[in-house]
Amino acid sequence: MRGDVASAREVVVGLDIGGTKVHGVLLVDGAVVAEDRFAVRHGADGVVATATLAVDALAGRLAALVPGAEVGAVGVGVPGLVLPGAGTVAHAVNLGIVEPEPLGARLAGALGVPVTVENDLNVAALGAAHVLGLEGDLAFLALGTGVAAGLLLDGRLRRGHRGAAGEVGHVPYAADGPRCACGQVGCLELYASGSAIDAAWPSPDGVPAPAHLFRAAAAGDVDAVRVRDRFADAVATAVQTLTLTVDVEHVVLGGGVSEVGEPLLVAVRRALGRREAASSFLATLGLADRVRLAPPGARVAPVGAALAALVGRDAGRGPGHAAGPLPARPTTATVA
């Protein structure tokens, strides 16, 4: 399809490509008008084929919604390192992409519209700011298989010198802890991730382990209370680390564990409250009040991908309805 940039309606597709599925949204003038999920095929060819299929499917629904409109840009969030150049993705192990792959260029060639590729946590930070209507510096803290944050500072994504900004999951947390896959000992993500809950509180009945744990704790199970509070304390450390390094106004809890909802927020705020009670310094910072939940439905990442596409397409102009302009940084690669 050939996008019509002169179209009065701004139509953009956002894709959040995960290890098992693609979550795609169709945005018209900044509002989600359609969404769908697609199974992911692995490897570079599989990811290109999956993304093309997803864009075609969403574009196909556009005709009935906004006759005559065409998709003008596509944004893609991927769990991996996005390198300078043509939207090149590397180390996306969950997608079966290890060697650098020019995903953005290949997709742009297949789709005939500008394609912007960005790290999945970065697009989630953009999406969270937009969906929750938040201004000010923001960290999107994903509590999933691992723990890491996307950072939106002064309206711009902060990726860092080597793309490691926000990698709080590998901050040392327990000097006597087990070895982490990264090679260090006692990393924070061994305590603050969904994987940590799976290990400490295996679900007996198919209910996600975090939901099972928080329900058992609410029912007064003393072991569950202990595991929950230890988990919440580790998440509090991630929040405190982010706040004391870049002083973000908002820390949005996302990732699979955030589906627990309000009980997670309460537990993390309580853990931060204990720290504030013990430290007048922390109390003045109001850490607990900065934490909030990602909206349910995990839509923030594909919405953020769509917003990144607008910024990438209009590089330098800013998206208008996003949290603010992204810089023309080399890791947001837009190719036509």
Q: Report the nearest approach of Zn ion to the CB of residue 293 (Å).
A: 25
Closer to Zn ion by CB, 192 or 224: give it. Answer: 192
Closer to Zn ion by CB, 65 or 93: give it. Answer: 93
Q: Which of the stretches 8-16, 22-30, 165-173, 328-336 binds Zn ion when contact is defined by CB under 5 A? A: 165-173
Cβ–Cβ < 8 Å for 124, 150 = yes
What is the identity of the amino acid at 267? A
Residue 151 structure tokens: 């950072």
Give the angle 241-322-333 at the CA atoms, nearest 5°.
Answer: 80
Binders of Zn ion: how many residues, by CB under 5 A? 5
Closer to Zn ion by CB, 194 or 319: give it. Answer: 194
Q: Report the nearest approach of Zn ion to the CB of residue 237 (Å).
A: 14
Closer to Zn ion by CB, 55 or 235: give it. Answer: 235
Closer to Zn ion by CB, 148 or 305: give it. Answer: 148
The 3-state secondary structure of the chain reads: CCCCCCCCCCEEEEEEECCCEEEEEEEECCEEEEEEEEECCCHHHHHHHHHHHHHHHHHHHHHHHCCCCCCCEEEEEECCEEECCCCEEECEHHHCECCCEEHHHHHHHHHCCCEEEEEHHHHHHHHHHHHHCCCCCEEEEEECCCEEEEEEECCEECCCCCCCCCCHHHCECCCCCCECCCCCECECHHHHCHHHHHHHCCCCCCCCHHHHHHHHHHCCCHHHHHHHHHHHHHHHHHHHHHHHHHCCCEEEEECHHHHHCHHHHHHHHHHHHHHHHHCHHHHHHCHHHHEEECCCCCCHHHHHHHHHHHHHHCCCCCCCCCCCCCCCCCCCEEEC
Counting Cα atoms < 13 Å in the Cβ hemisphere of 201 gives 26
Is residue 187 part of the contact set for Zn ion (CB under 5 A)?
Answer: yes
Closer to Zn ion by CB, 186 or 273: give it. Answer: 186
Cβ–Cβ < 8 Å for 103, 88 = yes
Is residue 182 part of the contact set for Zn ion (CB under 5 A)?
Answer: yes
Residue 100 structure tokens: 């650098």
Closer to Zn ion by CB, 180 or 303: give it. Answer: 180
Q: Report the nearest approach of Zn ion to the CB of residue 185 (Å).
A: 8
State which of residues 170, 212, 250, 313 lies at the interface with Zn ion (CB under 5 A): 170
10 Å CB burial of residue 135 (0-12, 13-18, 19+) is exposed
Is residue 180 part of the contact set for Zn ion (CB under 5 A)?
Answer: yes
Closer to Zn ion by CB, 140 or 173: give it. Answer: 173
Q: Which of the stretches 169-177, 203-211, 296-304, 314-322 binds Zn ion when contact is defined by CB under 5 A? A: 169-177
Q: Report the nearest approach of Zn ion to the CB of residue 199 (Å).
A: 15
Is residue 184 part of the contact set for Zn ion (CB under 5 A)?
Answer: yes
Q: Report the nearest approach of Zn ion to the CB of residue 300 (Å).
A: 25
Q: Which of the stretches 85-93, 156-164, 177-185, 257-265 binds Zn ion when contact is defined by CB under 5 A? A: 177-185
Q: Report the nearest approach of Zn ion to the CB of residue 184 (Å).
A: 5
Q: Report the nearest approach of Zn ion to the CB of residue 169 (Å).
A: 7
Q: Report the nearest approach of Zn ion to the CB of residue 167 (Å).
A: 9
Q: Which of the stretches 60-68, 90-98, 140-148, 173-181 binds Zn ion when contact is defined by CB under 5 A? A: 173-181
Residues 99-138 that bind Zn ion (CB under 5 A): none
Q: Report the nearest approach of Zn ion to the CB of residue 216 (Å).
A: 28
Closer to Zn ion by CB, 196 or 305: give it. Answer: 196
Applying CB under 5 A, the residues found at the interface with Zn ion are 170, 180, 182, 184, 187
